[in-house]
Amino acid sequence: MELHRALTFLGAVLLVATLVTYYGGAGGSSSSGLALVTGIAMLAAFAASFVLFNIDRWDDSKRRAGRRARRRQR
């Protein structure tokens, strides 16, 4: 499994954990603090997945653009 897919899956699991902790908790301050921690971890996982996915695509498009430019020069 590619790393960005694994991070997306982890982010989805953390999203569910955040929602369950925030809405399913007894309402104490410790449950909202835990929801904050899982929410921040979820955002970090989704952001890392987004960056890794786009870096892969950007490298591929640069390679294709380089090949097209070399063909035009011939």
Token digits of residue 22 = 């925030």
Contact 35, 21 (CB under 8 A): yes
> For the chain, how big is the Rg over CA atoms in Å?
20
Which pair of structure tokens corresponds to residue 30?
């410790």
Contact between residue 49 and residue 13 where contact means Cβ atoms under 8 Å apart: no
Compute the average pLDDT of residues 65-73. 68
> What local confidence, expressed as pLDDT, does residue 63 receive?
75
The H-or-E segment that residue 68 falls in is helix 29-73
Contacts of 49 (CB under 8 A, 6+ apart): 4, 5, 7, 8, 11
pLDDT value at position 56? Answer: 78
Instruction: Kindly report, residue by residue over 12-65, the tens digit of the pLDDT.
Output: 999 999 999 888 866 666 777 888 999 999 999 999 999 998 887 887 777 776
Rounded mean pLDDT, 3-8: 92
